[in-house]
Amino acid sequence: MRSLIRLLILLSGNRLYSATEIMERFDISERTVYRYLNQIEANGLVLERRNGRYRLVQDDSETSRLQKLFHFTEEEVFILNRSLSNFELSNTVVKNLIKKLHALYDFQTLTQLKKDGNIENIQKLATAIKDKDCVLLLKYRSSNSETVIDRKVEAFAFMPDYESVWCLDLEDKNVKQFRISRINEVKILKEKWQHTQLHELPFTDAFRMSAAKPVSTIEAILSLKAYNLLSEEFPTALPHIEKQSDQYFLKIPIADFHGIGRFVLGLPGDIEIIESKEFKDFLKEKQKSYGW
């Protein structure tokens, strides 16, 4: 029952999940996955099925009730905001939680974050996503193309940390991740989405790297120092860690070696890589390029 409830929460979001992703996330069999999906539909909820991936139909009235059930009331948001104000805002987790509350509940900007331009942009993006409006990302600073230009997009989902937003770039019709801190201003346009069928989220690993599917599964042994840093910097990796005696075993799917590679190379001697061979080779090449 607990796994079924967690699955309902998962499928009530923006992203579609494959049966394999559900199996790995909840450590259940493929047979159990399809049994749960059948139970969900048998109880009156409507599943969107697209290319072997699933989520609850967003416009369905029962899904709306479910989303309200899984979210906070305005009174609860007020209490959370007041409680969070007692923490130091240098804490990244606290800042991200405040941003998430602000985006989800249209709360007024907290006094401590009035100078943070990201808050206003997050709120505008959240409104555009809710109303299915296109937006202009004004003077977006792209590291890949080394340009500063306006980008017309269909923004449709935030990353869990609210540092980035998934958008369909209307110039080339590709789904891309845009860093919110690189957006000068968000302008909501009077144009509705026209390409919802292309709003496919790629797999994103705990190190915030994305790909169509995982390229490898990394297994490693972490020191206490590495475990502490991993839990602080990349908390979504925690479900993939198992503690045995005084050691921490990591087994995690990865979208790109560069994300986890930067973390591992920054902690020489604190992480022992067990698998995969491809990742070990990647690390050796990086060490050579650094002259180590």
**103 and 191 inside one domain:** yes
The whole-number pLDDT of residue 170 equals: 95
Mean pLDDT score, 260-272: 92
Query: What mean pLDDT comes out for the span 34-62?
Result: 78
End-of-domain residue from the set 39, 70, 101? 70
Q: Are residues 113 and 194 in the same domain?
A: yes
Residues 39 and 92 in one domain: no
pLDDT of 106 reads 45
pLDDT band, residue 145 (cuts 50/70/90): confident
Q: What is the CATH number of the domain that holds 251?
A: 3.30.70
Say yes or no to pLDDT of 47 above 90.
no
Alpha-carbon distance of 165 to 22, in angstroms, equals 23
Give CA–CA dist 241/263, Å, rounded.
15
- The total domain count for the chain is 3
Q: How many residues does the chain have?
A: 292
Q: Are residues 170 and 222 in the same domain?
A: no
pLDDT of residue 278: 94
For residue 14, give its domain range.
2-70
Whether residues 98 and 197 fall in one domain: yes
Buried (b) or exposed (e) across 25-56, using 16+ Cβ within 10 A? ebebeeebbeebbeebeeeebebeeeeebbbb
Q: Are residues 250 and 282 in the same domain?
A: yes
Q: Per residue in 212-236, pLDDT tens?
A: 789 999 999 999 999 999 988 888 8
Q: Are residues 87 and 165 in the same domain?
A: yes
Domain boundary pick from 54, 70, 86: 70
Q: Which of 164, 180, 201 is the last residue before a domain boundary?
A: 201
Is the domain of 33 the same as that of 85? Answer: no
